[in-house]
């Protein structure tokens, strides 16, 4: 009898197509993802998405590269753009284009409903290679109560205004000569540097992404601005990790940078003040970078698995599922029509300034996608920026030295 039952179970299992999904979502983000995956599995009993969290992006990329060498990758996984370029060189990716334009694909009006920046972000040589997944956008968070007390009516539009506001908000309450309330705080951050660099009209890399371009005048001015916030104007201090976010929640810092997804973590801590959200300031240009990963389908998977994976991706990027995903997590929607749903309109009313943050997708930029940028970004932070902000090295010298290191990294193919 037991043998018959086991045989029956095995037969039913054979009818279910398993899709292994490697990702790094944990905590409330992982909970939100797994709830949606469970719902998809219930709606599609012939498909089972197996959710496997790798904990962090370093572990994920190592696992992916090892699985490619072993010719045993998952069906789908989160990937950064620079990883995608490497995986394409290894012919490891099944382009999403093959499914988007297929019989079960998207209509033209559905494709045009995707924000242009996400189309650009997932397109190589005119073809969709990956699909947008957990996308966020750089944003600032500020203490609305502090702003109101100082008579500051809105978040600053330019970096010069940002400095003036930070000066007004920095307070020495106990009179010991050291601020008790700071205008802002931040860790050593290549992203912040890139933001200000581009706002001043500069670029991280050359257009062909083969040469560094951050060591020029605009880069020197950008890093000097960050340095002066700390050491000249004394309205900011350096932190590590998420210390700046904790200090903001505690009411010791007036303004901090993060991404749109940071809101869910800040709100969960229940700060004693009203939280405002705004796009980053600009200079010659208004600039914002998108963050987060995309999802890829691996070529070595079976045809049934790949088709099932596409069905899940198509479901996940539908406007209704996107609405639930962004409300639960703080990520941005990838479909423009999501903004027209009643629950999203209510959500935007509930979070002051979030509508403007999402509107910044209209002028958002993507970071370099060349494989060497995976190392180059870390070099920019560790070799170019940190020696200036922590060690007092001259800005021109540090950026010039870093540019040579980044140039070598860009010459490598991973």
Note the pLDDT of residue 365: 95
Average pLDDT over every residue of 31-38 = 97
Average pLDDT over every residue of 76-96 = 95
Is the CA virtual torsion 276, 277, 280, 281 positive or negative?
Answer: negative
How far from chain centre, in Å, is Cα 98?
26
Average pLDDT over every residue of 46-55 = 97
Dump the DSSP string for 177-204: SS-SBEEEEEES-HHHHHHHHHHTT--S
pLDDT beyond 80 at 20: yes
Note the pLDDT of residue 392: 84
Contact 100, 64 (CB under 8 A): no
Q: Give residue-wise pLDDT tens across range 265-294.
A: 999 999 999 999 999 999 998 999 999 999
Give CA–CA dist 247/232, Å, rounded. Answer: 22
Q: Give residue-wise pLDDT tens across range 305-337.
A: 999 999 999 999 999 999 999 999 999 999 999
Average pLDDT over every residue of 44-55 = 97
Contacts of 311 (CB under 8 A, 6+ apart): 44, 47, 104
Band (pLDDT 50/70/90 cuts) for residue 11 is: very low
The ranges of the chain annotated as CATH 3.40.190.10 are 17-135+292-358, 137-289+367-411
Note the pLDDT of residue 132: 97
Note the pLDDT of residue 103: 84
pLDDT beyond 50 at 9: no
Band (pLDDT 50/70/90 cuts) for residue 413 is: low
CATH architecture of 137-289+367-411: 3-Layer(aba) Sandwich (3.40)
Count of all residues that appear for the chain in the document:
414
pTM above 0.75, yes or no: yes
Number of C-beta neighbours around residue 13 at 10 A: 10
Backbone φ and ψ of 169, nearest 5°: -90, -15
Which of 370, 381, 357 shows the shortest CA–CA distance to 410?
Answer: 370
pLDDT beyond 80 at 7: no
Note the pLDDT of residue 13: 62
Mean per-residue pLDDT over the chain, rounded: 94
CATH class of 17-135+292-358: alpha beta
Is the CA virtual torsion 42, 122, 133, 409 positive or negative?
Answer: positive
């Amino acid at each position: 009898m037991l043998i018959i039952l086991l045989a029956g179970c095995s037969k039913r299992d054979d009818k279910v197509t398993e899709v292994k999904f490697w990702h790094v979502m944990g905590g409330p983000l992982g909970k939100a993802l797994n709830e949606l995956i469970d719902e998809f599995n219930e709606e599609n009993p012939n498909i089972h998405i197996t959710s496997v969290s790798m904990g962090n992006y370093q572990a994920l990329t190592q696992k992916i590269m090892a699985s490619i060498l072993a010719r045993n990758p998952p069906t789908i996984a989160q990937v950064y753009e620079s990883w995608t370029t490497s995986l394409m060189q290894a012919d490891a990716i099944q382009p999403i284009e093959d499914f988007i334009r297929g019989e079960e694909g998207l209509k033209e009006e559905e494709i045009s409903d995707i924000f242009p920046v996400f189309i650009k972000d997932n397109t190589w040589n005119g073809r969709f290679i990956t699909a947008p997944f957990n996308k966020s956008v750089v944003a600032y968070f500020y203490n609305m109560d502090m702003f109101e007390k100082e008579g500051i009516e809105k978040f600053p539009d330019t970096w010069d205004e940002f400095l003036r506001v930070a000066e007004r908000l920095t307070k020495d309450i106990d009179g010991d000569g050291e601020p008790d309330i700071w205008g802002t705080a931040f860790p050593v951050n290549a992203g912040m540097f890139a933001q200000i660099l581009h706002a001043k009209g500069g670029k991280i890399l050359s257009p062909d992404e083969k040469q560094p371009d951050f060591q020029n005048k605009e880069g020197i001015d950008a890093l000097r601005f960050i340095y002066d916030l700390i050491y000249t104007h004394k309205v900011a201090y350096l932190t590590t990790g998420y210390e700046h976010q904790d200090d903001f929640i505690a009411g010791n810092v007036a303004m901090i940078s993060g991404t749109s997804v940071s809101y869910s973590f800040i709100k969960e801590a229940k700060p004693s003040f009203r939280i405002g959200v705004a796009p980053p300031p600009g200079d010659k240009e208004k600039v914002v970078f998108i963050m987060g990963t995309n999802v890829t389908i691996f070529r070595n998977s079976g045809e049934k698995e790949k088709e099932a994976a596409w069905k899940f991706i198509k479901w996940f990027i539908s406007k209704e599922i996107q609405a639930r995903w962004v409300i639960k997590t703080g990520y941005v929607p990838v479909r423009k029509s999501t903004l027209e749903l009643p629950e999203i309109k209510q959500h935007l009313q509930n979070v002051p300034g979030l509508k403007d943050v999402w509107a910044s997708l209209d002028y958002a930029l993507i970071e370099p996608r060349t494989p060497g940028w995976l190392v180059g970004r870390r070099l920019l932070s560790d070799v170019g920026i940190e020696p200036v902000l922590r060690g007092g090295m001259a800005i021109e010298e540090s950026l010039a030295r870093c540019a040579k290191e980044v140039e070598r990294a860009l010459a490598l193919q991973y």
